[in-house]
Amino acid sequence: MADPATTHAYSSAVIGPKGATGVLVLADGSVAWGRGFGATGAAVGEVCFNTAMTGYQEVMTDPSYAAQIVTFTFPHIGNVGTNPEDMEGSVQGAVGCIVREDVTEPSNFRSVGGFPAWLAAQGKIGLAGIDTRALTRRIRMVGAPNAVIAHDPAGQFDIDALVKRAREWSGLEGMDLARVVTRDAQESWEGGVWRLGSGYGRSPRDTRPHVVAIDYGAKDNIFRNLVKAGAQVTVVPAETSLDTILGLNPAGVFLSNGPGDPAATGAYAVPVIAGLLERDVPLFGICLGHQMLALAAGAKTTKMHQGHRGANHPVKRLADDVVEITSMNHGFAVDAATLPDTVEQTHVSLFDGSNCGISIKGKRAFGVQYHPEASPGPQDSFYLFERFVGMLG
């Protein structure tokens, strides 16, 4: 009897091994059989891996994961269940996930439902019984592959068609996904940070400095942390014009995280950011926003071999050699070798030395590659929000 979790070379079989109700098909024809859960059907995306031990609901609803299939390296995913408070966004994030062990019943006082049912309601596909260690090693050796993840309770799959779909997908390079995941209209952000026993607070609408946050695929917790740091926040869509932003009379502008290729999104975002720099508007960018701030300053970005995704990434702050434990999710990076003299590198990854922070000389503008709102340290990086709000006067 074939092991449903076996990874093997491409074959034209349409019915998998006994017990297999899900499959991962890579663009090179490799096939991994497993046990499907969540939504049924098939979805195409780039396979990545995330090393965090928890936070899977936040990962799956982070718009930065759009068009990606997340391999969780921690084997026991789903054991804290799901709840409405841990949603990071209401738009499409990751299209599916891959786990080692079958999802068990939740055991957490905050849970209101199990992971499989929640995943199905979100239209996302899960695949269990996969050798995630082997898949992660493969990604590390040869890079993140394009693939199709599929789930059929009857266990019937057209492998030829799935391979063809994976091969024909264009991939993330050159893809602008910010306009797909951004909100449709401007809104005043009302929520504060979450507290045990009381849930999310409210944002005071008072004399606090006004921050306009450009949503390229933002996590909601970023806006909550801006509120916690002392700002009032207006969120605008990704393609909002420079004139519209300036018309809101911001004390500063925040550039959010998001999915896709920064060079593609930069076609319309970079001219806006450059205009803000020319007017010396205070700027703070995270992840994709950081990358596009670098592009606006004259640097370039590059597609990474495997990317950085997890909640345990050490980053060195060059000013004082302090190490921050950070949360990351990015498959593109700022090419430090292309930073012009007008840009100072402020942070680097201790995993591979890649750029993780910049500051624009003579301007009130800086960015970091990681996610300071995700609390991996848990509070190592909150000072960045305070630093930004402190610039606003």
**What fold is seen in the domain 7-168?**
Glucose Oxidase; domain 1 (3.50.30)
How would residue 2 be classed by pLDDT, with cut points 50, 70 and 90? very low
Could you report the per-residue pLDDT of 335-387, keeping only the tens digit for each? 999 999 999 999 999 999 999 999 999 999 999 999 999 877 778 899 999 99
Residues with Cβ < 8 Å from 345, sequence gap 6 or more?
A: 318, 336, 339, 355, 357, 358
Q: Which CATH superfamily is domain 178-391 in?
A: Class I glutamine amidotransferase (GATase) domain (3.40.50.880)
Average pLDDT over residues 225-249: 96
Domain residue extents for the chain: 7-168, 178-391
**Six token digits for residue 102:** 């079958």
Tell me the whole-structure pTM to 2 decimals. 0.93
pLDDT at residue 92 is higher than 50: yes
- DSSP assignment string, 82-94: B-GGG---SS---
Integer Cα distance of 112 and 80 in angstroms: 10
Radius of gyration of the CA atoms of the chain, in A: 21
What does the pLDDT read at residue 205?
65
What does the pLDDT read at residue 4?
38
DSSP label at residue 357: E
Q: What percent of the chain has pLDDT over 70?
A: 94
pLDDT at residue 3 is higher than 70: no
What does the pLDDT read at residue 9?
40
Active-site residues, by number, are 287, 371, 373
Integer Cα distance of 96 and 75 in angstroms: 16
How would residue 14 be classed by pLDDT, with cut points 50, 70 and 90? low
- DSSP assignment string, 116-185: HHHHHHTT-EEEES--HHHHHHHHHHH-PPEEEEEE-TT-B--HHHHHHHHHH---STT---HHHHS-SS
How would residue 199 be classed by pLDDT, with cut points 50, 70 and 90? low
Residues with Cβ < 8 Å from 310, sequence gap 6 or more?
A: 50, 51, 52, 327, 328
pLDDT at residue 5 is higher than 50: no
Residues with Cβ < 8 Å from 227, sequence gap 6 or more?
A: 189, 191, 192, 193, 201, 203, 233
Average pLDDT over residues 215-241: 95
